[in-house]
């Protein structure tokens, strides 16, 4: 398969018989250059393979998951490609937090489509991860249109929202320590008030708990797999897994919520359970 001239390869590494590659491209959705990583398992040399899209959390880039999660060994066994985009638009032309804060702006796109100036020009991460990036990947790499999505923290929020807003687009979804109810937590309130404006009703379209409650009858309810560390310092104030559990129970939405004693918010936590998640996705992707 010949790569599009719009893709600039910036790194390549052999890994567990497959290849980890990084690319830069111009994003139409975000109006800036973006970097993403893709892991192609050895099976991709013989034919197209399904894809897991991984969304990372606040302050992260495509590199965090690929370097720290230890996912390539199991992905190589299962024959799953992994695509990891950056977490937000970046660059000198892209506005960041005017106060220099780490939880808004660069590294904190929150996987929404911003409606408020100046953020609405570039901060359209939802369109990027749901539509533009998969189209680019499926046109340029040996992958199928069988997709799964997962993420951590802000990326867990992004994965849940992307799957809930697009029934049938993904075969499976999972999350590590997701920001489950962003309309009611400090991180979400800060980001949504700036990206989406003062109307809190409009925020509900980007909140997993609210989306679960609003799913119409007859729509496929994709089972959710969520792991949450009980020693996570953000658990009570920011992540609110109990709210997600309550929303799923009220709506009859399938949820497996696993509270893991002693685990925190770090990649030590993710690396400990990533194999479970990959096997969860493989079962759906290869069904």
**Any idea which residues carry the catalytic annotation?**
153, 232, 265
Separation CA 123–CA 111 (nearest Å): 8
Count of CB atoms situated within 10 Å of the CB of 236 = 11
Quote the tokens at residue 257: 């919520």
The three-state (H, E, C) secondary structure of 82-144, written as one string: EEEECCCCCCCCCCCCCCCCCCCECCECCCCECCCCCHHHCCEHHHHHHHHHHHHHHHHCCEE
- The CA distances from residue 128 to 49, 141, 148, in Å, are 21, 17, 16
Separation CA 167–CA 38 (nearest Å): 24
Beta strands 8-15 and 18-27: pairing type?
antiparallel
């Amino acid at each position: 398969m010949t790569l599009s001239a719009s893709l600039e390869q910036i790194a390549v590494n052999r890994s567990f018989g497959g290849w980890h590659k990084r690319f830069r491209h111009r994003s139409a959705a975000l109006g800036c250059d973006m970097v993403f990583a893709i892991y192609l398992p050895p099976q991709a040399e013989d034919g197209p393979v399904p894809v897991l899209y991984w969304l990372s959390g606040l302050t992260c880039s495509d590199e965090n998951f690929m370097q720290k999660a230890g996912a390539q060994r199991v992905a190589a066994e299962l024959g799953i490609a992994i695509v990891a985009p950056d977490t937000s638009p970046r660059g000198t032309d892209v506005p960041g937090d005017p106060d220099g804060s780490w939880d808004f702006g660069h590294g904190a796109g929150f996987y929404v489509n911003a409606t408020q100036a100046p953020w609405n020009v570039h901060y359209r991460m939802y369109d990027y991860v749901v539509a533009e990036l998969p189209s680019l990947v499926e046109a340029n790499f040996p992958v199928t249109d069988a997709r799964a999505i997962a993420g951590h923290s802000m990326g867990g929020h992004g994965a849940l929202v992307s799957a809930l807003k697009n029934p049938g687009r993904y075969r499976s979804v999972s999350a590590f320590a997701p920001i489950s109810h962003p309309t009611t937590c400090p991180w979400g309130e800060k980001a949504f008030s700036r990206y989406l404006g003062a109307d809190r009703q409009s925020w509900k379209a980007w909140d997993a708990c609210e989306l679960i409650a609003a799913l119409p009858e007859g729509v496929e309810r994709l089972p959710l797999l969520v792991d949450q560390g009980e020693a996570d310092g953000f658990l009570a104030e920011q992540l609110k897994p109990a709210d997600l559990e309550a929303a799923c129970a009220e709506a009859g939405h399938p949820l497996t919520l696993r509270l893991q004693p002693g685990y925190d918010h770090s990649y030590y936590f993710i690396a400990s359970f990533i194999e479970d998640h990959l096997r969860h996705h493989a079962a759906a992707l290869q069904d």
